[in-house]
Amino acid sequence: MTTSLAALPWEDRREGTREVVWRYSRNPVIRGDALPTSNSIFNSAVVRFGDGYAGVFRCDDRTRAMRLHRGFSDDGIEWEIDPEPIRFVCGDSDLAEFVYGYDPRVVEVEETYYLTWCNWYHGPTIGVASTDDFERFHQLENAFLPFNRNGVLFPRRIGGRFAMLSRPSDDGHTPFGDVFYSESPDLTFWGKHRHVLGTVPNSWQSTKVGSGPAPLETPDGWLLVYHGVLTSCNGFVYSAGVALLDLDEPWRVLARAKPYVFAPQTDYERVGDVPNVVFPSAIVSDDDRLVLYYGAADTVTALAFAYVDELVRFAKEQS
């Protein structure tokens, strides 16, 4: 398998602006009602695949069941999403019981695509599956005990082991949470748990933080785009930030920007099923440019753009 070299769905920064991250002018790219049965499509995963792109999408239907659907695109903007949810191939009847699945991430590691998502197993935990073709998804062991969310694999082994970020939590709409690092030799047994990021008092990330897309490897370290949450008088507000992690010991934070890089500002980010949310969940990039897929107001999927070196510099200079 060869990683797709499909062109990035790119739009230049508007003249006269200096935003580090800027939005696609035709957002949202996927509406909440894009499927006949869907209430909302958001917090979804996208990777290059074949001559274009493939994705796994969080689709909440009109009974408000949370399901995962696959989709394909030639250009990363116009999507054909399978109306039928993914049916995982699993040899373990206990593990195969599907109650809900949401907030997927997909990453290619050693020519295999791995899907992680918030899976139910007596509470929210991290589901893991593999696929070569986005047709058949082979469910592996859940990575951790409940309760956990935001499981994000690194795109390569570190020290010969698979590596994952996650956020231990509770059973509800978690009012707390830090990011932790874990390693595995085989995607079954996980250990070497290390604390990575915590909350920052009196800031946009004072309530909880969680990993966004798979970390992007740069010469300066792993570039991590993550979400942070504050509790306002009107509820949670989700914004996006950046940090740099050590390439060999990713639990060591080299830099972490104090300001957010973008926060809910547009109508589609401020108005929806859950107002005031931007939730970064996927990155596609070349050497210089980065395209960020994010959920907006827990209703639609949107695009934003950045230059890799500018995000790295922002993390360092605003640390």
The CATH number assigned to the domain holding 266 equals: 2.115.10.20
What average pLDDT is seen over the chain? 96
Q: Is residue 157 part of a domain?
A: yes
User: What's the Cα-to-Cα distance from 63 to each of 56, 60, 98, 310, rounded to whole Å?
Assistant: 20, 8, 16, 42
pLDDT in tens, 210-257: 999 999 999 999 999 999 999 999 999 999 999 999 999 999 999 999
Q: Is residue 87 part of a domain?
A: yes
Give residue 260's Cα distance to chain centre: 17
Q: Residue 172 — pLDDT band, cuts 50, 70, 90?
A: confident
pLDDT in tens, 98-119: 999 999 999 999 999 999 999 9
What sign results for the dihedral spanned by CA atoms 239, 78, 98, 215? negative
Alpha carbon dihedral 108, 218, 79, 32, in 10-degree steps, equals 110
Percent of the chain with pLDDT over 70: 98
pLDDT number for residue 4: 62
pLDDT number for residue 2: 44
Q: Is residue 77 part of a domain?
A: yes
- Tell me the C-alpha distance between 70 and 273, whole Å: 22
Q: Is residue 161 part of a domain?
A: yes
Exposed, middle or buried: residue 31 (CB in 10 Å: 0-12, 13-18, 19+)? Answer: middle
Q: Is residue 8 part of a domain?
A: no
Q: How many distinct structural domains can be found in the chain?
A: 1
User: What domain range is 55 assigned to?
Assistant: 22-317
pLDDT in tens, 264-289: 999 999 999 999 999 999 999 998 99
Length of the chain: 319
Q: Residue 165 — pLDDT band, cuts 50, 70, 90?
A: very high
Q: Is residue 17 part of a domain?
A: no
User: What pTM, to 2 d.p., does this model score?
Assistant: 0.96
